[in-house]
Structure 1
Amino acid sequence: LADPALSRELCQACLDVSNQGELPAIPVTEFPYRDYAKALRLMTSGQHQGKLVLKAPSCGDDPAIMVADVRPLLDPEATYLVTGGLGGFGLRLLPYLAFAGARHITLLDRDPDRQRTANWIRESSALVYTDLDVEFDIVAGDVAVEEDVRRCIAQLKRPLKGVFHLAGILDDRFFDDISPESMSRVFAPKADGALHLHRAASGLDLDHFVLFSSTASTIGNPGQVNYSAASAFLDGLAVVRHRQGLPCLAFNMAAVADAGMASRSLHVLRMMRATGMPPVSSDSAIANLDFAMRSMADRDHLVTAMFTRPAWTVELPDYMRTGRMLNNQDAFEAGTGSEWTIESVLAQLAAKVAELCGHDEGGVEEPLSSFGLTSISVAELGAFIQTQFNYQMSALELMTTASCMSIARGIIHGGQDELHDQAEAEEDGALVTPLVVTGELQRAPSAFASAIEDHFPRQGSNAQVTVPCPG
């Protein structure tokens, strides 16, 4: 501004040099879509020049980027019926249904004292449903009584679009101890209840009919003969409904560590862990359920479980050991479950940290904060730890006190080290990514719905969100 003539002369000189091609263009480094993580790491390192560009594939050779389906799954104008929804796992399922789009949820409750109200649900679920404008209608009745089920469905004010059958009880017995009374006691809410729902919903245009079965019906559990049989009935009903062109999913869950009937039975949890199939977290189970409901309309059942031994070393039926068991091959190659060692975990962690920071200097006891990791690198490391080892750490821990050694100890000891001093870690700890087993599925799903951790409240200090995603 002090010398306009000089400014004009400088601008003209710059334009002349540019027009004559004497100034090179800004460098552009191209990355295919599949290398987006590498591009992000280079950008955050500050070592690149010019622009980094993600180049779209020209001939379809590059694999498509998997984008999680986070669209509302349930119809906000419809009603969804839940049985057994006031139990431990049911109270974990209700927030998921709300965030999946449900706004009108009817629960069938056989509580004679009518003490469990909508306010009780909100308080017990630790979720502010009022922010989502969710309405609960608790109907007195027993799913084991067909008349109660028909009455409940008949009085619905909105069209019924989904049924979630969780009702069930345990009366664990070995085969020699089985009696007609024990069979009837377990079959009534689970098997009879499912049949009553199937009959009462006949003719209705349902989108979802989910039967919460058990891995006991597919893998077997010597101490749960009656429960295994009742769960097998649910699996069979799912097949029948599919043959009739009706929606149905039998969701065969392993024991859930932090909610539900098995969580109250320490001997069941220990027995499951001893057989190589430790309990899963409720968040992991719900993440698998979300995947199944979104993408398995043509399947009649899905089994979700974790194994701490390769499939071929576990006592499983032949059909589950002949190529239909899906697993995290990277984890199995490194060693799984009781075969995990500090050394094998450290090797994977050190390799990942070296990849993220660009060098392999530094000891395993040194805090990761001294390695120069960026915020994006920390997020990627956290995702790697969660998907590879089913172990969750916050970004704050990774950026402050955590070292490769402390993380490895936490993974090996199921979260009982100084980073996660949790009173109930034995029930939560899991050393491998949850497996997904289906009758005919030939590959593991690419992703489950993202941001599950934002959908569920933390249920106490021992809660962890695990969204399994095969490596």
Structure 2
Amino acid sequence: MRTFLKDSGADGVDVVLNSLSHDDYIPRSLALLVKGGRFMEIGKRGIWSHEQMAEARPDVMYEKIAADTMMEKEPWRYNAYLKRLLGRAEAGGLQPINCHLFDGLEKGVSALQFLQRANNIGKVVISQPSRMLCGPKDLAMLSGGMGALGIVTAQYLVEEGCKSMALLSRSGKPSADAMAHWDWLKACAIDMKVEKCDVSEESSVVALRGALGDRRVGCLLHLAGVLADGMLPALSREHFEKSYAPKVHGLYHMCKHLEIAEDAVRLLFSSTSALFGSPGQANYSASNSVLDALAPAWSARGRPTRSVQWGPWAEVGMAVQKNTLSRAKAMGVGALNTATGMGVMSSVLFAGEALVGAVPVRWAKYLRSAYPETPRFLEDMEAEVRKAGPAPGAGGGGGAMELASLPPEERLEAVRAGIREMAREVVDDGSLATDSPLLESGMDSLSGVEFRNRLVTEFEGVRMPNSLIFDHPTVNELAAFISGQLGDVAPAGGAVP
């Protein structure tokens, strides 16, 4: 090095970029550094502190560069550096080093053996194809993309290799429930556009087509949806139009006006309301059923389409916003955490089924709570429950008969305690008073239907009219009514069969 400096007529080097850790390397490099030079340390072991450098060479500007720490503490700065490097690479100013590529994790052993034999010059890379079937050059489009579930899904797409996406939203603003995920997305070096587009309006989708130009959609995720709940007698045409507009008409408008590749993956977000039914959501169930019917039909025509009937999500989505998770849990329906949901999404794309339900269910509890009689399409599940044996607290009516055999005052108190606990679960209020009107304490017409179904199951043999909660609006009044009915069905002599 000294010979090179002498031949070039230089007094020394201006910058040292050091990664060598031997005891003598740093002093030797410093000896070559001109006065006022810069010493950039990218090593990890045996490096000098700022105090050591100041003592040895106070004239030198010394900086330790730790890319891993920068990624964690200053992601915006690291992002900016990567974007600059990416721009230079795309312009041809930077050429990649030699790379030996092994496709798929199953080639991992071969890759390590290749590395062990020192056959490589440059990097040895094991690639893993995207589990979302979305290539780096594909445009991923998400309707409802600025909702909490849309943003979480977009983050997962990026983690799976997506480099270009369009998030469609009526408001164009991110959901307040997913701001941490949104900040993560904004910090990513991807081509992400937020398009203010109401897919239920055909003119809005036509305008979107103009904004996209000749770009083709390589991956379509349809998450848009609106709730317009109401019990069946109160449902109007407007209720159905409100539910159908984003779900059904929105999908039609996108397929009609956007340039979607024939082999593009189409993932439709349906709901278990179309699988099990849901009190007060006949319109929402119907609109999701259209998606469920389209998925197998399109797949049969060579357009890969999947419709997933999602249950409630634990961290994002409509169930969280509507505060229905506790009610669902009380009926035996669990919630999907984000990691599990994203894993299900990936699995569905590689599965052969075009229509899949995704919800954790405790079947014994659900079948008792949701239906006075098990519907035919769930009879197989009921058979499995019977085969597995009785669930804790299943009762099968035995509990009601035991209550019926109690003295009237004890029976009334036991019934009141059971109803109070059930009501508190349904309205998600542990302090609900027994004399508070239920319909003024958080129980609406939808949860009222669920509550009545649970009472029918719990107190088998008691006749409960559809107007039960209106006729007996408090826990105390319900307890008096049901306790009196149980007295009428008590076995002779008070014996429990």
TM-score, structure 2 normalization: 0.47
From the two aligned structures, give the one with the greater helix fraction: 2
Q: Which has the larger radius of gyration?
A: 2
- If asked which structure has higher relative contact order (CA below 8 Å, sep 6+), I would say 1
TM-score, structure 1 normalization: 0.49
